Amino acid sequence: MYHPTTRVLTILELLQAYGSLSGAELAKRLEVDRRTVRRYVTMLQDLGIPIEGTRGLAGGYRLRPGFKLPPLMLNDDEALAVILSLIAAKRQCIPADPHTIEGALAKIERVLPDGLRARLQAVQSSVAFHAAPTVPQPSGEIVMLISTAIHQQRRLHLQYQSRHKETERHLDPYGLVTHWDYWYLVGYCHLRQGVRMFRLDRIIKAAIEDVIFIRPEFNSLQYVLESLATTPWGWPFEIILETTLEEAQRRIAPGNVIFEQVDEGVLIRGHIEQLDWLARMLLMLGCSFIIRRPDELREALRSVASRAIAMAER
C-alpha cells in the first residue's frame, strides 16, 4: 500500500526514467485519480522541481529539459555518519516508521559506489545498538507539523490529554526537546497565560493556525530540564555538594536537579520519590555534602549505611 509521500517521490522517479508521462498513466501507476496526480505534481513544483505540463488530448507532465537531480556524493565519513544515524533511528524509538527508514537506507545504498556500499553493508551487519526503553512515541507527522509551526512562527491549536483531563489550547510554539526518551513541546500557552511544556505523545490533534507570533529569545532545553527537576512530586530536597559546578554537572544527569553555585560549593535541589535512592546517589558521588532538607534524608542515609555494614560483615 502506497504512502502519499511515497507516491509523490514515485512521480519524480517516473518522470526521470521516462521523460514524459500522461496524467492518466501516472494515475494508473500510482493507483489514484488524475486530480490527485495534479496535487502531487503541485507539491513537487512547490519544492522547486521544474515539472512542466504537456499539451495534447490526454495531457501530461515532464521534467524541464536538461534538469537532473544531482548525484549523492558522500565521502566515507559522511556516508558512515548517515548510515549509523538511520540505523540508530530505527533502533532507538525515533518517531519514524521502521519501513520508511529501511527505504531510505536502500535508496542511499543504491547511489553509492560499489566499494563504499559494500563497506557500509558490513557496518550494518556488524553494529549492534542497545535498544532504548519502550516509551510512547509521537508520530512523525506531528513532529514535522510542529517543527513547521516553530520555523514559521505560527500559532498552534492543540487537543491535549494531560494526566487528568483533555483540553484545547492555543500555543505559540518556541521549541522541541527530546529528553529521557520523551519528546517535549515548549511554548506560550494562551489558556494558562504562561510558558508551558507538553509531551508530544499526549497530543491528540494539532493544527497550524494563520496567526503569526514573534518568538522571544528562549532556551527551550533549559526550560524542560528545570521543569522536570522542579516538578512538585515526592520529597523536595536541597543539598550542598562540596565540589565544583563542573564536576557536579558531570556526575548528575541533567533534568534530575537544579544546580546553583554557592559559597560552600554547589547547591542541588529538586524532588525525589524515594529517599533511599537519593541517599545511594549521594554516596556514589564521591564528595562531601551537607543536607539542608528534608531531615528524613538523614535517616535514609543511616539505613543505607547500616545495610552496607551488614552486607560487609557477611
- Mean pLDDT comparison of 1-5, 34-38, 90-94, 264-268, highest-scoring range: 264-268
Q: For all residues of the chain together, what is the average pLDDT?
A: 85
Q: How far apart are CA 143 and CA 227, in angstroms?
A: 21
Residue from 216, 238, 241 nearest 229 by CA: 238
Sheet holding 265-272, edge to edge: 258-262, 265-272, 235-241, 289-293
Alpha carbon 273 to chain centroid, angstroms: 27
- pLDDT value at residue 1: 41
Out of 63-72, 279-288, 302-311, pick the least confident: 63-72
- pLDDT tens-place string over residues 96-115: 666 677 777 777 777 777 77
C-alpha cell recorded at residue 302? 543511616
Pick 206 or 19 by higher pLDDT: 206
Model pTM score: 0.61
CATH of 231-312, one of 1.10.10, 3.30.70, 2.60.40, 3.30.1300: 3.30.70
Q: Return the C-alpha torsion angle 265, 269, 273, 278, nearest 10.
A: 0
Q: How far is CA 53 from CA 27, 41, 131, in A?
A: 15, 10, 48
The continuous run of DSSP H or E covering 245 comes out as helix 245-251
- pLDDT value at residue 58: 58
Pairing of strands 258-262, 154-161: unpaired
Pick 64 or 224 by higher pLDDT: 224
Q: Residue 64 pLDDT > 60, yes or no?
A: yes
**Which residues have C-beta within 8 Å of that of residue 79, sequence separation ≥ 6?**
108, 112, 116, 120
- pLDDT value at residue 233: 80
Q: How far apart are CA 282 and CA 141, in angstroms?
A: 42
For the chain, domain boundaries: 4-63, 76-126, 140-225, 231-312
- pLDDT value at residue 8: 81
C-alpha cell recorded at residue 140? 512523525
Residue from 227, 236, 250, 139 nearest 179 by CA: 227
- pLDDT value at residue 57: 60
Q: Residue 90 pLDDT > 70, yes or no?
A: no
Q: How is domain 140-225 classified at the architecture level of CATH?
A: Roll (2.30)
Out of 36-50, 190-204, 272-286, pick the least confident: 36-50
Q: How far apart are CA 226 and CA 256, in angstroms?
A: 8
Q: How far apart are CA 185 and CA 173, in angstroms?
A: 7
pLDDT mean over 143-170? 94
When pLDDT is cut at 50, 70 and 90, the band that residue 199 belongs to is very high
Residue from 83, 89, 80, 185 nearest 132 by CA: 89
- Domain 4-63 classified CATH 3.40.1170.10? no
Out of 13-17, 226-230, 268-272, 290-294, pick the least confident: 13-17
Residue from 194, 202, 149, 155 nearest 176 by CA: 149
Pairing of strands 194-199, 182-189: antiparallel
- pLDDT value at residue 208: 96
User: What phi, psi does 235 have (nearest 5°)?
Assistant: -95, 120
Q: How many CB atoms lie within 10 A of CB 129?
A: 12
When pLDDT is cut at 50, 70 and 90, the band that residue 94 belongs to is low
Pick 249 or 121 by higher pLDDT: 249
